[in-house]
Amino acid sequence: MAFQWRTLNGQQIDDIKLAVKTAILRETALGHKLKVCIGTDSQTRGKVTDFATVIVFLREKKGGFMFIHNEKTEQPMSLKERMLLEVAKSIDIAYQLCDLLDTYNVELEVHADINTDPSFRSNKALNEAMGYILSMGFVFKAKPDAFASSSCADKMV
């Protein structure tokens, strides 16, 4: 199944790389300095786990916009597995886009919805997630700095 992306207003995106390139060209032509933050969040309801992955475009001092992908699975998994799957989904799209972002000199961060405070259950996946993201050569952010996953994707899941 193809990864189906959409804008916040529901417009379907057929080719995510083309949509990202078009957005970069449009925004830079308008004089905006961009940064892209990618994050995934999930929520389990009964046997179903819903995932939302977002590509957030930040315009320096001018707000931002995002592209969204949702998917569901009934595969049972532990909290740690789910946290690492979220990271894997973010890394997958970051990897698909990194050459394009490099070409246009757009900064990229990968955000993990994992708490840096050890008193939170999601913290169990912090070291693995951080290692995974950093080893792929991406900038890593966790809570409270991971707004792409903990705020943007959280609202879309």
CATH number, domain containing residue 144: 3.30.420
Proportion of the chain above pLDDT 90, given as a percent: 96
Q: What residues make up the domain containing 81?
A: 5-156
Q: Is residue 156's pLDDT more than 90?
A: yes
CA separation for the pair 97, 141 (Å, rounded) = 18
Residue 17 — φ and ψ, nearest 5°? -65, -40
pTM, rounded to two decimals? 0.94
Domain tally, the chain: 1
Q: Is 73 exposed, middle or buried (0-12, 13-18, 19+ CB in 10 A)?
A: middle
Residue entry with tokens 């959409």:
6
Read off the pLDDT of residues 6-57 as tens digits, 9 standing for 90 and up.
Answer: 999 999 999 999 999 999 999 999 999 999 999 999 999 999 999 999 999 9
Please tell me the predicted confidence (pLDDT) of residue 3: 59
Residue 130 CB neighbour total at 10 angstroms: 17
How confident is the model over 98-115, as pLDDT tens digits?
Answer: 999 999 999 999 999 999
pLDDT of amino acid 142: 94
